[in-house]
Amino acid sequence: MRALVVGGAGYIGSHVVFYLLKDNCEVLVLDNLSFGSESSIPKGADFVLGDIRNKEVLTRCMQNFKPEVVVHLAALKSVGKSIHEIAVYSDINITGTINLLNAMIAQNIPYFVFSSSAAVYGTPVYLPIDEKHPTKPINYYGETKLIIEQMLQWYSRAYPFYYSALRYFNASGHEPASSFFAIEKNPENLIPILLETALGTRKDFTLFGDDYDTPDGSCIRDYIHVSDLARAHLLSLHFLKEKKQSLTLNLGTGKGFSTREAYESAVRVTKKDIPLTIGGRREGDPASMYALSDRARNLLAWQPKYNNIDDIILHSWKAYQRNFET
């Protein structure tokens, strides 16, 4: 299988590339390196520096490499910034994706895997969240993902085109069987922030809200190991090719951890002092969010391998230490 991985130099993308290579795929990464880095791309994949807003680059890549599948992870993902930077989020997350889809259709490329997000759901009205849960994004980032999901349905009706829209919950951890780094730049996610504080590159860690209606008062989220996510991409590609049927799937563990549990785990695993500040609640943060991923388990025979917060943090800690030492 020849796979074009767009955004393959980023955190999740580099893991997807690793698993595609392990499955003997030929991989070309297209990335503008705005957040990713070339050194994160696992050895064995080719790389083109380019932007999804550039239609000529997309067409050239597809004509030269002739991929059978496109995995699309390139996007801006800051929930907070998305609320104010509507134009730039529209340009990259929506227009960039339309460019990619239209280039695929023009080149007759039939299989597409899209990085969607649990942000399409908005505030949970019930838990665990299954794929039938109402989709009402509460930030523009989630809206951009939902708009693309809706577009994909129309593309698959009109063309010989099959997609899987993978709604990731909180991606976390690092591949333990590899030494590539794939460290997030300017992270806004909990575990990278905890680890940067443990390394001393941040002063302290702020826990936003300790008065939620949860057992320890802090928010609960579903931390899915990035290697489990990456394996699901591969399985969904095999499904698309074999069944010729599009998919929309949650990818989570179904088990949530609280921010305080993650903090305590980070202290335990890193054996470092991580200064803690208790801050106020952030707007739009629901108390709990975790997934029902039975659809992925049933259709793809996918099973998350990691659901222990200490393992997830340890795998990332090793990657952060290696990165810090180089």
Ligand X SMILES: NC(=O)c1ccc[n+]([C@@H]2O[C@H](COP(=O)([O-])OP(=O)(O)OC[C@H]3O[C@@H](n4cnc5c(N)ncnc54)[C@H](O)[C@@H]3O)[C@@H](O)[C@H]2O)c1
User: Would you name the residues annotated as active-site residues?
Assistant: 141
Rounded Cα gap, residues 15 and 227, in angstroms: 6
Rounded Cα gap, residues 67 and 30, in angstroms: 12
Considering the rule CB under 6 A, would residue 74 count as an interface residue with ligand X? yes
Rounded Cα gap, residues 123 and 107, in angstroms: 39
**Both tokens assigned to 241:** 């090719």
Q: Which residues contact 306 (CB under 8 A, 6 or more apart)?
A: 173, 225, 227, 228, 253, 312, 315
Residue 178, CA distances (Å) to 40, 50, 96, 270 in order: 11, 26, 31, 20
Considering the rule CB under 6 A, would residue 103 count as an interface residue with ligand X? no
Residue with tokens 């134009």: 87
Considering the rule CB under 6 A, would residue 256 count as an interface residue with ligand X? no
Beta carbon of residue 271, minimum distance to ligand X (angstroms, whole number): 26
Q: Which of 11, 19, 257, 317 binds ligand X (CB under 6 A)?
A: 11
- Applying the rule CB under 6 A, the residues between 140 and 199 that interact with ligand X are 168, 170-171, 184, 189
Considering the rule CB under 6 A, would residue 207 count as an interface residue with ligand X? no
Considering the rule CB under 6 A, would residue 31 count as an interface residue with ligand X? yes
Considering the rule CB under 6 A, would residue 34 count as an interface residue with ligand X? yes
CB nearer to ligand X: pick between 76 and 300: 76
Considering the rule CB under 6 A, would residue 92 count as an interface residue with ligand X? yes
CB nearer to ligand X: pick between 151 and 211: 151
Considering the rule CB under 6 A, would residue 73 count as an interface residue with ligand X? yes
Rounded Cα gap, residues 53 and 281, in angstroms: 36
Considering the rule CB under 6 A, would residue 70 count as an interface residue with ligand X? no
Count CB neighbours of 157 within 10 A. Answer: 9
Considering the rule CB under 6 A, would residue 241 count as an interface residue with ligand X? no
Whether the CB-CB separation of 241 and 311 falls below 8 Å is answered with no
CB nearer to ligand X: pick between 224 and 287: 224
Considering the rule CB under 6 A, would residue 117 count as an interface residue with ligand X? yes
Residues touching ligand X: how many (CB under 6 A)?
28
- Applying the rule CB under 6 A, the residues between 264 and 323 that interact with ligand X are none
Count CB neighbours of 163 within 10 A. Answer: 25
Whether the CB-CB separation of 112 and 72 falls below 8 Å is answered with yes
Beta carbon of residue 96, minimum distance to ligand X (angstroms, whole number): 5
Interface residue list for ligand X (CB under 6 A)? 7, 9-13, 31-36, 51-53, 73-75, 77, 92, 96, 115, 117, 168, 170-171, 184, 189
